[in-house]
Amino acid sequence: MAKGASQLNRSAMHLLHRAGQCAADIFASEARSSGLTPRQFAVLMVVTEEEGLTQTDLVERTGIDRSTLADIVARLLSHGLIQRRRAKEDARAYAIKLTPQGTKALRDAQPGATAADARLLANLPPAKRQEFLESLSLIVTATRK
């Protein structure tokens, strides 16, 4: 193995990026029929759990940057999966709600998302799976802006 490659294989940043790419590829293959991306799925999941969130709330809940989230919201709107209304608390902001089509898309994607998680975690020994998820959660929580 080349020296540079061995250094990359000890880089948490690089390995997390690569693992994220693998996760996205697995999600795409498992949830292909839903037509959703992993980030779109995440947004729909958060919206179904907390209807009426603003885009700012969605940025905070998902960790998706503001401009990317705006693109995702625009795409979900154009596909009829969500609707926006002016937020009651702040007339400058929009509250997001799933449409019946969005609820169906989320329901259709759920088995693929579950299968993608199972495929990812199957690469780890069973005894390490929960620890892995907890470690990822610690990283996310500790580095949240």
Domains of the chain listed by start with CATH number: 3-143 (1.10.10.10)
Query: Whole-prediction pTM value?
Result: 0.86
Express each pLDDT in 117-140 by its tens digit. 999 999 999 999 999 999 999 998
Q: Which residue shows structure tokens 């002016």?
A: 86
Dist CA 77 CA 83 (whole Å): 6
Q: Backbone phi, then psi, for 4, in 5-degree steps?
A: -60, -40
Express each pLDDT in 20-30 by its tens digit. 999 999 999 99
